[in-house]
Amino acid sequence: MTETVLITGCSSGIGRETAHCFLEDGWEVYATARNPADIQSLGDAGANVATLDVTDEDDAERVVERIVDEEGRIDCLVNNAGYAQLGPVEDVTTESVESQFEVNVFGPHRLLREVLPHMRDRRTGTVVNVSSVSGRLATPGMGVYNGSKFAMEGISDALRPEVSEYGIDVVLVEPGPVDTAFAERASDEVEGLERSDAYETLYSVLDDTEAVGGGGPGAVAPRRVAETILDAANLTDPAARYPVGQVAKVAMLGRFVPAKLRDKFYRLALSLVAKNPLGD
Ligand SMILES: NC(=O)c1ccc[n+]([C@@H]2O[C@H](COP(=O)([O-])OP(=O)(O)OC[C@H]3O[C@@H](n4cnc5c(N)ncnc54)[C@H](OP(=O)(O)O)[C@@H]3O)[C@@H](O)[C@H]2O)c1
């Protein structure tokens, strides 16, 4: 029988490409987004489309029930929907931190709780959580986003041995910069901050869209991430985590640098930016 995948955040970027990759590989695809008009083209390409805001419990329940009714199985859940709340930690309101965790952490958890009982019944399945290099290495100006992806990593690492006896795999996909709408959305979030006058240099970095990811140097195409997700779903024994792109692989090495030394490096980098502002 055809395998079935549920993907969140298919309106653009990695989610959209992932839906295409699974379709091309012959999967039954349930592509979801907050606004169904954004995924009409995926419907035309052969996907089942559904409205799903990951912050909405009823949406998550309704979509999973529909898939189980129609297909009798969910073989793979791709928790992809997410965005980056950037900004100096002090300048991000608690409300914005809550919104960040609602989408990036509670959303995936909500879907997990709906999907896992069905995977356990059938004693098979793969959960792919789209994390980030930012889930492994924290950087100034990204603390709140780092926090959300670190949380996703921690939950995934605990979940993996919990569900392995039921034949369920849990995989983290960890891209570096990817050429999607992600950086523009992140810039909008930075623009919306009430800026203290304490972090001017950091803001000069954050105001440069290329420096916060997206189409900057070293960025990979979303297709590359989508193919990694598909490969993980197709493997019988996937790895726990898959960094994607050279930037991710090199940046991950930063985890092995002692924290105090890493702090010094960040302070030095920021002082160099202060002397030679980006774009000059
Ligand atoms: N691009 C990068 O540099 C990069 C690097 C590492 C990791 N990632 C991760 O990759 C994932 C996908 O990002 P992307 O690069 O493809 O960015 P993107 O093009 O901005 O796509 C993000 C997707 O998440 C959706 N989304 C946001 N809030 C949602 C909600 N409440 N409910 C449902 N969907 C929601 C967006 O839908 P709307 O159109 O409705 O907003 C959009 O479909 C994210 O988890 C991100 O953290 C991205």
Work out the percent of the chain whose per-residue pLDDT is above 90: 92
pLDDT of residue 280: 53
Ligand 1 centroid to residue 213 C-alpha, Å: 13
Q: Ligand 1 pocket test: pick from 6, 180, 242, 244 the residue with the most ligand atoms within 8 Å of its Cβ.
A: 180
* Number of neighbours of residue 88 by Cβ within 10 angstroms: 20
Burial of 120 (0-12, 13-18, 19+ CB in 10 A): middle
Ligand 1 centroid to residue 81 C-alpha, Å: 4
Q: What is the mean pLDDT of residues 96-109?
A: 98
Q: What is the DSSP letter of 219?
A: -
pLDDT of residue 279: 57
pLDDT of residue 59: 98
Q: What is the DSSP letter of 197?
A: T
pLDDT in tens, 88-101: 999 999 999 999 99
Of 7, 20, 3, 157, the closest CA to residue 77 belongs to: 7
What CATH number is attached to the domain comprising 194?
Answer: 3.40.50.720
Ligand 1 centroid to residue 83 C-alpha, Å: 5
Does the residue 158 lie in any domain?
A: yes
pLDDT in tens, 240-262: 999 999 999 999 999 999 999 99
> What ligand 1 atom has the least distance to the C-alpha of 53?
32
Name every residue whose Cβ is closer than 8 Å to that of residue 53 and which is 6 or more positions away in sequence. Answer: 34, 59
Q: What is the mean pLDDT of residues 109-120?
A: 98
pLDDT of residue 212: 65
pLDDT of residue 133: 97
CA-nearest residue, atom 26 of ligand 1: 81
Q: What is the mean pLDDT of residues 27-45?
A: 98
Residues with CB under 6 A from ligand 1: 8-9, 11-15, 33-35, 38, 53-55, 80-83, 103, 130, 132, 175, 177-178, 180-182, 185, 213-214, 222
Name every residue whose Cβ is closer than 8 Å to that of residue 250 and which is 6 or more positions away in sequence. Answer: none
Q: Which pair of structure tokens corresponds to residue 147?
A: 């926090």
Helix (H, G, I), strand (E, B) or coil at 61: helix
69: pLDDT strictly greater than 70: yes
Ligand 1 centroid to residue 272 C-alpha, Å: 31
pLDDT of residue 276: 79
Does the residue 139 lie in any domain?
A: yes
Q: Ligand 1 pocket test: pick from 51, 83, 209, 229 the residue with the most ligand atoms within 8 Å of its Cβ.
A: 83
Q: What is the mean pLDDT of residues 153-179?
A: 98
> What ligand 1 atom has the least distance to the C-alpha of 134?
6
Instruction: Judge contact between 54 and 78, C-beta under 8 A.
Output: no
Ligand 1 centroid to residue 43 C-alpha, Å: 19
Name every residue whose Cβ is closer than 8 Å to that of residue 103 and which is 6 or more positions away in sequence. Answer: 54, 55, 81, 82, 83
* Number of neighbours of residue 140 by Cβ within 10 angstroms: 18
> What ligand 1 atom has the least distance to the C-alpha of 38?
39
Instruction: Judge contact between 74 and 118, C-beta under 8 A.
Output: yes
215: pLDDT strictly greater than 80: no
Spatial distance between the Cα atoms of 79 and 183, rounded to a whole number of angstroms: 19
| Length reported for the chain | 280
* Number of neighbours of residue 194 by Cβ within 10 angstroms: 8
Per the prediction, the chain carries an average pLDDT of: 95
Burial of 23 (0-12, 13-18, 19+ CB in 10 A): middle
Residue 38's pLDDT band, with cuts at 50, 70 and 90, is: very high
Name every residue whose Cβ is closer than 8 Å to that of residue 135 and which is 6 or more positions away in sequence. Answer: 146, 149, 150, 152, 153, 172, 174
pLDDT of residue 5: 99
Number of domains in the chain: 1
In degrees and rounded to multiples of 5, residue 276 shows phi and psi of -125, 80
Does the residue 280 lie in any domain?
A: no
pLDDT of residue 30: 98
CA-nearest residue, atom 32 of ligand 1: 53
Name every residue whose Cβ is closer than 8 Å to that of residue 243 and which is 6 or more positions away in sequence. Answer: 133, 174, 175, 176, 249, 252
Residue 274's pLDDT band, with cuts at 50, 70 and 90, is: confident
Helix (H) or strand (E) holding 149: helix 143-163
Give the range of the structural domain holding residue 102, as residue numbers without chain letter.
Answer: 4-275
Tell me which residues are annotated as active site. 11, 131, 145, 149
